[in-house]
Amino acid sequence: MSPCSKEKVPCKSILLAIALFTVGTVLLVVGSLLVTGTIIPAEYADRTIPVLGLGVIAFLPGSYHTYLA
């Protein structure tokens, strides 16, 4: 018997929030490494803005809903 069946805990929503938080954190870290030129040379800096943007889009709701959970 799963622990979610006894009470009405929204397990899927909590897992989605944790997944968004994790993916957003990873994308923000990779984006910051791209900005500093640690991963790739600075001449390919045009790839950093989409990675950072997606990181922010995933991190903000993920962190908020993880905090609420």
Please give the chain's pLDDT, 69 residues, in tens.
566 667 788 899 999 999 999 999 999 999 998 888 788 776 777 888 899 999 999 999 999 999 998
Is residue 54 domain-resident? yes
Is residue 3 domain-resident? no
**Separation of alpha carbons 42 and 47, rounded Å:** 10
Structure tokens at 58: 């995933």
Is residue 61 domain-resident? yes
Is residue 5 domain-resident? no
Is residue 1 domain-resident? no
Is residue 58 domain-resident? yes
Structure tokens at 13: 């929503």
**Separation of alpha carbons 48 and 5, rounded Å:** 43
Phi-psi region of 7 (alpha: psi -120 to 50; beta: other; left: phi over 0): beta
Full residue range of the structural domain in which residue 18 is found: 11-68
Structure tokens at 10: 């929204």
The model's pTM is: 0.81
Number of domains making up the chain: 1
